Amino acid sequence: MTRRSRNITGAADPRSPLELILTDMLRDTVQLPDAACVGRGELFDPMSEGESREDVDERHRTAVRLCWECPAIGPCRDWSIGEPASDGVLAGRLPEFRRPPGRPRSNDVA
């Protein structure tokens, strides 16, 4: 006998407890089915050990160009706003550490 879960109305839910847990975990995950980065994740990654600055810059420029042509850039940018700073490319933005030197932004924390 298979034990069935109950949904919010109390009706039997045909999904298994594991499906319910996974569904809940993925509820806030953005869906970007047309993302141009699918299968190209290596372009977006942070600098790897032994990689030269020139190589990572070129790789990240290629990633940013993909983002600019990506049909999912709008929802990707919306989602990325709440994400922590990254050393890789995200939503068409280069890593935070590449900001040019100068005055800190007004929202920078001392």
**Which residues of this protein are in contact with ligand SF4, per CB under 6 A?**
32, 35-37, 66-67, 70, 72-73, 76, 90-92
Total Cβ atoms within 10 A of residue 25 = 9
Looking at the DSSP bridge assignments, the partners of residue 90 are 93
CB of 74 to ligand SF4, least distance (A): 9
CB of 37 to ligand SF4, least distance (A): 3
The residue among 56 and 70 lying less far from ligand SF4, judged by its C-beta, is 70
CB of 70 to ligand SF4, least distance (A): 3
Locate tokens 């047309």: which residue?
34
Contact status, residue 2 vs residue 46, Cβ threshold 8 Å: no
Contact status, residue 90 vs residue 60, Cβ threshold 8 Å: no
The residue among 56 and 76 lying less far from ligand SF4, judged by its C-beta, is 76
